[in-house]
Structure 1
Amino acid sequence: MTLPSHARVVIIGGGVIGCSVAYHLAKLGWTDIVLLERKKLTSGTTWHAAGLIAQLRATKNMTKLAKYSQELYGGLEVETGIATGFKRCGSITVALTEERQEEIFRQAAMARAFGVDVERITPDEVKARYAHLNIDGVKAGVYLEKDGQGDPANIALALAKGARQNGALIKEDARVTQITRAGRRAASITWETQGQTGQITCDHVVNCAGMWGHEVGRMAGVNVPLHACEHFYIVTEAIPGLTQLPVLRVPDECAYYKEDAGKMLLGAFEPNAKPWGMDGIPSNFEFDQLPEDFDHFEPILESAVARLPMLAEAGIHTFFNGPESFTPDDAYHLGLAPELDNFWVAAGFNSIGIQSAGGAGMALAQWMDTGEKPFDLGDVDIARMQPFQGNKTYLYERSKETLGLLYADHYPFRQKETARGIRRSPLHQHLLNEGAVMGEFAGWERANWFARGSQEAQYDYTWKRQSFFENIAAEHRAIRENVGLYDMSSFGKIRVEGRDAEAFMNYIGGGDYAGPVGKITYTQFLNKTGGIEADVTVTRLSETAYLVVTPAAARLADETWMRRHQGDFNVVITDVTAAEAVLAVMGPNARTLLERVSPNDFSNATNPFGTAQEVEIGMGLARVHRVSYVGELGWEVYVSSDQAAHVFETLHRAGQDMNMTLCGLHMMDSCRIEKAFRHFGHDITCEDHVLEAGLGFAVKTEKPDFIGRDAVLRKKDEGLSMRLLQFKLTDPEPLLYHAEPILRDGEVVSYLTSGAYGHHLGAALGMGYVPCKGEALANVLASTYEIDVAGTRVCADVSSKPFYDPKSERVKV
């Protein structure tokens, strides 16, 4: 086979995801598609995958992709003539603890909101569907009739054949050795096969290299954080009389079971995994397996024999140990790499590659074809990964945990335990000294709550009220009634400077940035459909400089969005996150506290809401931004990192006789939900129209030209199809987190995009989009609403305005 000198796209890697991307691009009419596989198709991870195919994922769009995979695999055999082994045999997940029961019942409720058929079943009903199972200790189960299983290698080969039938060129035994860059583009790849080498120039590159994805990314200067881990399963000898069974998951025993051709496969996601390939993956690795480690697997097997007694009589035919790649957060990588404008990634599938590959390939192909995400892919967008997460030591340490997290209890607020302490605020030790309990977000150690008195400064997880529930309540009260101090240093800070800074900001964002120095604008960056790509505040620092402040995890994505739309604007865009610490002083007595430590004027006349000014604090200098994400009078104090400790000590000391309270970021989420402030990535995403999100006030369509303007004007003419509303449970006991179904007049119509407990209002609150095409707001609000909490319907009040301080009077006093 002769390889071309140029291709529209070169796909690196011939596992199931590489074949899926090639298949879907070809289906979209792309020509000049070249897929290069270093050895043989499927020879890395795909060939030994267990082939479990489930529909339900943690979010609506991930579920949409998994459902698409099922539908695709069901028709591939007819299209290509290659048997995929796809069977809808159903799946059962059982709970052995009350906590796991709560989790799977919440997942079942979520499934209904996402259009997935799911059934809650009793232990006896579990037994009726899975007679071989010992149900001792089983509390409950959930059954998904349309879940299934398939032959992983043949699914990939069918996708490859489908791609070839539509014109794609697939070359095996062709290893990529170099990727050449030209500016912000990958210009060419160099390949090697059987002693020959060649080069292909290309318009696009897709990294589908699986556990080699990190290495391939490095060739192009692209960060693809993933690490291989050993993954174990056994296959028994044939068991007489064994017939097709549903896939069975017993996550409390870290085990899954699959009947296959009269044999049983038992696989494990053990809590402490074994990373592999620390010194790189051997160049000759092909259809290989790793050495057996029966001692490591034995605890899983021991529990499994008790759970499925027939295993005690069945001989072991195969003890398999093969490598699979895992990412730092257990979500795969998909999308356009931040470092380049034509380098795409689809890798790191965390042992769910077969069920994900169909949908992921479809979504990536559509994104590549149109230049726009087909829907929100924030959960898996490669731009969520921080640069430091490509560090090999970090990946080694984190991967020990992430494999096991697949079957761990997915408690709310659960924190990663490995690879911690990497990014620290200048105030880190000060906060620890005061009892801070740290969580990790985008690598940052952040004070989430403060232990009091003799209370242990650690999480104690549950789906009910957690051990720190009252701590958050006390911090919440301090913000509402007195004054609180908390660290916001992790929030991203991007400086935009140059002679065209004002013009650039007015193009990139929906707000008006032409105001005086010191003006703060709450704003969104929109895409061409009016969806929200970023939710930020923009402060004018000078005639030619702005500071864009963004959520910690969104900093890289937002900076990349600006760079990709910089065009000919004469500006310099710089990440300055680490340069300044940020302390929030919030609450009715915030002004009093600041006046104690500063000679500056904090009155409305001098420093009204939405403005910034430079001040003295103690013996240091700072800049105070009068804004609030908690709905109270307050200031964010920006201070250079070298003076941050002094400013903290000054504020902390001055607040002692005022009963000032140190607060954590769980409090911030509790306060913001009462005020119906949107959370980017949950309540507002790239597929949520800014007007339907209730943020039309932040968009200034009188400006002549900005990204998304036409879409905003169209929506104004067409009217809203959805409205983001706030809900408050009438029962103060249940807790809300996210994705709970919303019922309108008894019918499921949507789900909560976020939820938290409102300690001032005394009930859990959430937000969610409700369909309303052609309806007046009054009619939407006149309906009866309930929220499904783990299968129990709870009545809820509804409002289009915040339940707390709807006129926003408290921030302006």
Structure 2
Amino acid sequence: MSRKTELSRRGKSFTADHKPLMGEAPEVRGFYLGCGFNSAGMMLGGGCGRELAHWIIHGRPEKDMYGYDIRRFHNSLTDNTRWIRQRSHESYAKNYSVVFPFDEPLASRNMRKDPFHQVLTEQGCVFQERHGWERPGWFTMDGPAPVKDYDYYGAYDIKKNVNYKYNILLGKEYTFDFPPHHDVIKNECLTCRHGVAVFDMSYFGKFYLSGPDAKKAADWLFTADVNKKPGDAYYLAIGGGVAEHNWNHIRTVLQDQGFHCHLTDHSEDMGMISIQGPKSREVLQEVLDTDLSNEAFPFSTHKVVNAAGHQVRAMRLSFVGELGWELHIPKDSCLPVYHAVMAAGAKHGIINSGYRAIDSLSIEKGYRHWHADLRPDDTPLESGLGFTCKLKSSIPFQGRDRLEKQKEEGLRRRIVCFTIDEKVPMFGLEAVFRNGTPVGHLRRSEYGFFIDKTIGYGYIRNPAGGVVSADFIKSGEFTLEKMGVTYEAKAHLKSPFDPENKRIKGIYA
């Protein structure tokens, strides 16, 4: 066999999401990966090699490499042969496919399902896959659209799925315009704004931090003041897509700092539903055995209560900008509690809503999304989250010295909210211009149905290298460019929706 023939027969490496595998292996400290470049090694090798060297020396890359970080995958998936085989195959099969904003994989689905999965499937849930979990995307009115076993697109003599409703629904969303189910998601959003909606958020990571040094560890790990008695435990609810990354980061910090405490994972043991909207208090007051008034149950507090005879942890929080509570529920109690909530909410027009609605509602309120509005190379001050940092206290925390220096010197970039009046879809990466000069790009964009405008968030810089002050933003004329078309935009220093935070306090007058 000639050398040329031998080379031509060698296979290419394709990873589960068509991106390289980089960073410190979760299983072995000090063992770093730099592989799986999906036939793009020569193109990516130089930059990735530089970042990997910085990663090894300093413990983290200089640039945002989260999309390549091996910790983006949950450990239960990377050890699963079916997940690896199917996802790697689909990655290769779609190597040259156009990447549409709302595409979802067909391979390696139903790997992680929460207790609500079957009942939501029966109610028309169109699921998204995140971190192996099936999480609700949106709800079709045309009956169940279950995710089927992967058919390898008919390859290897495997019978191709026919009349595959879920795949048909995905195909209809292959567009850079508003998707055909735009009005369905609008209804989910506006029902939440005017009435009450239930969101299944069970894919969240649910960790307990406990032990004699738990308070010391929490003080160092978290920018906010989490004042508790020494020795008390902390319950951490973390976005599911970043749960593995957070898990490994926290464990690394505990080890490096020598804290005597334990981190335990209960993500699979609990479900989580969020009941949000002006009528949420009326609904939950029939289900929970506690007073839900503002005085008895203020915002950003939690209690262990009974719900329909089952013990749950109720948290008065919101990621959509409305009055609402999260219920963190033991697995075996999930369905009885869910059915009790839906029964109590029936007379109020309660509906199920998904993460497509959360994406719209959260950007409307100005709440940040990980790896869109927030990345590893952003600081809390740049991202408008300085209020979450205990800088007025004397408590040390990781990165405090950097924040104090940045606060003193002024921000050279900062996140800004933009709205446009034209009803056009944007998805992120659109260029931002100030007075005709490019100053950044959108990180994330969605349509805000309540304010009836396209909303985008992006970080901007001062082209002269100076501080990006409030006056710099107010004095500029901004435009956004999408696919060669320019749109006039209005810049906002605060969210254009409920900037005084009245609704989360239950003030709707």
Which residue, out of 230, 249, 254, partners 1:561? 249
1:146-169 Cα deviation digits (max 9, x unpaired): xxxxxxxxxxxxxxxxxxxxxxxx
TM-fit CA distance, 1:604 = 1.2
What amino acid maps onto 2:92 in structure 1?
L
1:1-32 Cα deviation digits (max 9, x unpaired): xxxxxxxxxxxxxxxxxxxxxxxxxxxxxxxx
TM-fit CA distance, 1:568 = 2.3
TM-fit CA distance, 1:453 = 4.4
Which residue does the alignment assign to 1:444? Answer: 133
- The alignment status of 1:471 with 2:471, answered yes or no, reads no
Which residue does the alignment assign to 2:403? Answer: 712
Q: Does structure 2 retain, via aligned residues, the 8 Å contact 1:383–1:556?
A: yes
Which residue, out of 376, 386, 411, partners 2:100? 411
In structure 2, C-alpha distance between the alignment counterparts of 1:340 and 1:577, rounded to whole Å: 23
What amino acid maps onto 1:486 in structure 2?
F
Q: Does structure 1 retain, via aligned residues, the 8 Å contact 2:124–2:141?
A: yes
Which residue does the alignment assign to 1:487? Answer: 200
What amino acid maps onto 1:512 in structure 2?
D
SS of equivalent to 2:237: strand
SS of equivalent to 2:12: strand
- The alignment status of 1:660 with 2:322, answered yes or no, reads no
Q: Does structure 2 retain, via aligned residues, the 8 Å contact 1:726–1:799?
A: yes
- Deviation beyond 2 Å, 4+ runs, structure 1: 369-372, 453-459, 772-776
In structure 2, C-alpha distance between the alignment counterparts of 1:399 and 1:560, rounded to whole Å: 24
- The alignment status of 1:371 with 2:84, answered yes or no, reads no
- The alignment status of 1:727 with 2:418, answered yes or no, reads yes
What amino acid maps onto 2:25 in structure 1?
A
1:87-122 Cα deviation digits (max 9, x unpaired): xxxxxxxxxxxxxxxxxxxxxxxxxxxxxxxxxxxx
Which residue does the alignment assign to 1:498? Answer: 211
Counterparts of 1:500-579 in structure 2, within 5 Å, are 500-515=213-228, 544-566=232-254, 567-579=257-269
What amino acid maps onto 1:747 in structure 2?
T
In structure 1, C-alpha distance between the alignment counterparts of 2:10 and 2:448, rounded to whole Å: 47
Q: Does structure 1 retain, via aligned residues, the 8 Å contact 2:215–2:228?
A: no
In structure 2, C-alpha distance between the alignment counterparts of 1:704 and 1:645, rounded to whole Å: 42
In structure 2, C-alpha distance between the alignment counterparts of 1:564 and 1:438, rounded to whole Å: 33
> TM-score when scaled to structure 2?
0.90
Q: Does structure 2 retain, via aligned residues, the 8 Å contact 1:324–1:350?
A: yes
Range with bigger deviation, 681-690 or 363-372: 363-372
Counterparts of 1:547-626 in structure 2, within 5 Å, are 547-566=235-254, 567-626=257-316
Aligned-residue Cα RMSD (Å) equals 1.8
1:408-440 Cα deviation digits (max 9, x unpaired): 121111000111111001100010111101111
SS of equivalent to 1:486: strand
SS of equivalent to 2:390: coil
Which residue does the alignment assign to 1:397? Answer: 86
SS of equivalent to 1:598: coil
In structure 1, C-alpha distance between the alignment counterparts of 2:398 and 2:448, rounded to whole Å: 36
What amino acid maps onto 2:292 in structure 1?
F
In structure 2, C-alpha distance between the alignment counterparts of 1:336 and 1:373, rounded to whole Å: 11
SS of equivalent to 2:11: strand
- The alignment status of 1:691 with 2:381, answered yes or no, reads yes
Structure having the larger proportion of residues in strand = 1
Q: Does structure 1 retain, via aligned residues, the 8 Å contact 2:318–2:504?
A: yes
TM-fit CA distance, 1:389 = 2.2
What amino acid maps onto 2:130 in structure 1?
F
What amino acid maps onto 2:314 in structure 1?
V
TM-fit CA distance, 1:501 = 1.0
Counterparts of 1:178-327 in structure 2, within 5 Å, are 288=6, 320-327=8-15
SS of equivalent to 1:358: helix
In structure 2, C-alpha distance between the alignment counterparts of 1:753 and 1:546, rounded to whole Å: 32
1:336-377 Cα deviation digits (max 9, x unpaired): 112222000011111211111111111101221233311110
> TM-score when scaled to structure 1?
0.57
In structure 1, C-alpha distance between the alignment counterparts of 2:283 and 2:176, rounded to whole Å: 37
Which residue, out of 450, 466, 474, partners 1:781? 474
Which residue, out of 398, 405, 420, partners 2:109? 420
Which residue does the alignment assign to 2:437? Answer: 747
In structure 2, C-alpha distance between the alignment counterparts of 1:465 and 1:795, rounded to whole Å: 19
1:549-603 Cα deviation digits (max 9, x unpaired): 2111211111111111112222101111111100000000000000122231111
SS of equivalent to 1:615: strand
TM-fit CA distance, 1:543 = 5.8
TM-fit CA distance, 1:503 = 1.4
Which residue does the alignment assign to 1:249? Answer: none
1:180-200 Cα deviation digits (max 9, x unpaired): xxxxxxxxxxxxxxxxxxxxx
1:653-708 Cα deviation digits (max 9, x unpaired): 22112110110110000000111111111111111121111111000022332111
What amino acid maps onto 2:23 in structure 1?
G
TM-fit CA distance, 1:388 = 2.2
- The alignment status of 1:703 with 2:394, answered yes or no, reads yes
What amino acid maps onto 2:327 in structure 1?
V
Counterparts of 1:641-660 in structure 2, within 5 Å, are 641-660=331-350
SS of equivalent to 1:780: helix
Q: Does structure 2 retain, via aligned residues, the 8 Å contact 1:328–1:389?
A: no
Q: Does structure 1 retain, via aligned residues, the 8 Å contact 2:478–2:490?
A: yes
TM-fit CA distance, 1:621 = 1.5
What amino acid maps onto 1:431 in structure 2?
L
Q: Does structure 2 retain, via aligned residues, the 8 Å contact 1:338–1:557?
A: no
Q: 1:774 to 1:396 in 2, by over 3 A?
A: closer
SS of equivalent to 1:743: strand
Q: Does structure 2 retain, via aligned residues, the 8 Å contact 1:338–1:556?
A: no
1:261-290 Cα deviation digits (max 9, x unpaired): xxxxxxxxxxxxxxxxxxxxxxxxxx845x
Q: Does structure 2 retain, via aligned residues, the 8 Å contact 1:628–1:811?
A: yes
In structure 2, C-alpha distance between the alignment counterparts of 1:571 and 1:480, rounded to whole Å: 41
What amino acid maps onto 2:416 in structure 1?
L
Q: Does structure 2 retain, via aligned residues, the 8 Å contact 1:398–1:418?
A: yes
What amino acid maps onto 1:497 in structure 2?
S
SS of equivalent to 1:424: coil
Which residue does the alignment assign to 2:120? Answer: 431
In structure 2, C-alpha distance between the alignment counterparts of 1:370 and 1:709, rounded to whole Å: 17
In structure 1, C-alpha distance between the alignment counterparts of 2:96 and 2:434, rounded to whole Å: 33
In structure 2, C-alpha distance between the alignment counterparts of 1:392 and 1:288, rounded to whole Å: 28
Counterparts of 1:61-210 in structure 2, within 5 Å, are none
TM-fit CA distance, 1:619 = 2.3
TM-fit CA distance, 1:645 = 0.9
What amino acid maps onto 1:728 in structure 2?
T
What amino acid maps onto 1:477 in structure 2?
L
In structure 1, C-alpha distance between the alignment counterparts of 2:331 and 2:143, rounded to whole Å: 31
Q: Does structure 1 retain, via aligned residues, the 8 Å contact 2:25–2:33?
A: yes
- The alignment status of 1:338 with 2:26, answered yes or no, reads yes
What amino acid maps onto 1:752 in structure 2?
L
Counterparts of 1:49-60 in structure 2, within 5 Å, are none
What amino acid maps onto 2:226 in structure 1?
Y
TM-fit CA distance, 1:480 = 0.5
Which residue does the alignment assign to 1:72? Answer: none
Which residue does the alignment assign to 2:150? Answer: none
- The alignment status of 1:357 with 2:70, answered yes or no, reads no
SS of equivalent to 1:570: coil
Which residue does the alignment assign to 2:162? Answer: none
Q: Which ranges of structure 2 fall in alignment gaps of 5 or more residues?
A: 145-164
Range with bigger deviation, 620-629 or 767-776: 767-776
Across the two proteins, how many residue pairs are aligned to each other?
474
